Structure 1
Amino acid sequence: MGVYDSTLTSKGQTTIPAEIREALNLKPGDKIRYVVSGDRVYLRVKNVRLADLAGALGKPPNGASLSIDEIDDAIMDAVAEDDARIVREWHDGSK
């Protein structure tokens, strides 16, 4: 595990060190999520392409269409599960 330092500007901005950008395959425009847990902050890269999400919600039974509310609920459930998994992994020290 490497430790890297960065400086915060007066506008609240910082530069992610090149080693971290390379290790996480970060590109301009990628989204980064900050997860705050007590006195710790974890970064989560959100650089998934739309094509990578194909089929994430599964197929509705019998080819039925989902309503907007059902799609919203499925997305919110998936995000909540993902966030819980991330926090659990960080607390367990597995990531």
Structure 2
Amino acid sequence: MSTATLTTKGQITIPVDVRRALNVEAGDRVEFVEIEPGRFEVIAATRSVRELKGRFGKPKRAVSIEEMNAAITAQATRSR
């Protein structure tokens, strides 16, 4: 198991074996995703969203900006 120490500035150095496993290097971004209260996963965020193009197939129909905004609003009101 790898460990790191938190500095007074709130920074940590990711251990070399973890950096290798995540395939990250200086300047790359990582995300901390809470999977349950008090438990996080560290995920490499080094790829561009553009790399996702074409991976999900064509949509069945085009969706307008207005429809997207309505869906977002509906979901937001349900979440409260």
- Pairwise TM-score range, normalised by the shorter structure: 0.5 to 0.7
- 1:15-34 superposed matches below 5 A: 15-34=13-32
SS at match of 1:42: strand
**Percent identical:** 38
Which aligned segments of 4 or more residues in structure 1 are displaced greater than 3 angstroms?
Answer: 66-72
Question: What is the distance in 1 between the residues matched to 2:67 and 2:26?
Answer: 33
Decide whether the 8 Å contact of 2:32 with 2:42 is kept in 1.
yes
Kindly report the root-mean-square deviation, in angstroms, between the aligned alpha carbons of the 2 structures: 2.9
Provide closer, same or farther for how the CA distance between residues 69 and 23 of structure 1 changes in structure 2, counting only shifts above 3 A.
farther
Shift of 1:68: 4.1
Give the match for residue 52 of structure 1: 51
Does residue 43 (structure 1) correspond to residue 30 (structure 2)? The answer is no
Aligned residues: 70
Q: Which has the larger radius of gyration?
A: 2
- Segments of structure 2 that go 5 or more residues without pairing to the other structure are 73-80
TM-score scaled by length of structure 1 = 0.54
Instruction: Kindly indicate which of the two structures has a greater share of residues assigned to helix.
Output: 1
